[in-house]
Amino acid sequence: MTTSDLPGVMTMRERMLAGQPYITDSEIAALTAAAQQRMAAYNASDPGDPQTRRRLLEELLGEVGEDVEVRTPVYLDYGDRITIGPRTFVNFGLTALDVAPITIGADVQIGPHVQLLTPTHPLDAQQRKDKWEGAAPITIGDNVWLGGGVIVCPGVTIGENTVVGAGAVVVSDLPAGVLAVGQPAKVIRQLG
């Protein structure tokens, strides 16, 4: 008997999708393996064949707007929890760990080697040893520019028209229309 056989008991996948703590089980591992295959196909695709690349990107991600470019390689957990708005550009080496949803708006510019990290782990040592984890969603507003090497941590929302300087680590929400830099990222000025 598994936990899914018990009335009212959520499977680990259901817990993960609901944003509750979970442990990776065989069902989640199978989802990860399937996503890794889709990711490998996209990463191996020919940049000279835009129709095939677009099809593979649509199979990889949850939703992809028009005129989106995602340069390879890209690294992710599941892919289907990622939404990218129209006219967004993603440079080489994006890591998007989408245990929780990642929403990227329209006209966003994402520099090379940016990390969007939704997973969280407990502070309690025994819970970590027991492999419990969780996640919190990330939202990137329209017309945001994330410079190269930016790290966006779990649960962060970045407001529209905001610029985050290269190498910044964003640990808390950023409002719309600001320039933020540093580790942790701090707002240094308003933008026009």
CATH number at residue 113: 2.160.10.10
From the candidates 121, 176, 182, 187, which is the catalytic residue?
121
Domain count along the chain: 1
The question of whether 113 is a catalytic residue gets the answer no
pLDDT of residue 8: 67
pLDDT of residue 166: 98
pLDDT of residue 9: 85
- Residue 88 half-sphere exposure toward CB, CA atoms < 13 A: 23
In degrees, rounded to 5, the angle at the alpha carbon of residue 81 between the alpha carbons of residues 35 and 126 is 80
The per-residue pLDDT for range 9-27, each reduced to its tens digit, is: 899 999 999 989 999 999 9
Strands of the sheet with 132-135, listed across from one edge: 22-23, 132-135, 119-120
The per-residue pLDDT for range 94-131, each reduced to its tens digit, is: 999 999 999 999 999 999 999 999 999 999 999 999 99
Q: Please tell me the pTM assigned to this model.
A: 0.93
| Structural domain boundaries, residue 179 | 3-190
Q: What is the DSSP string of 27-52?
A: HHHHHHHHHHHHHHHHHHS-TT-HHH
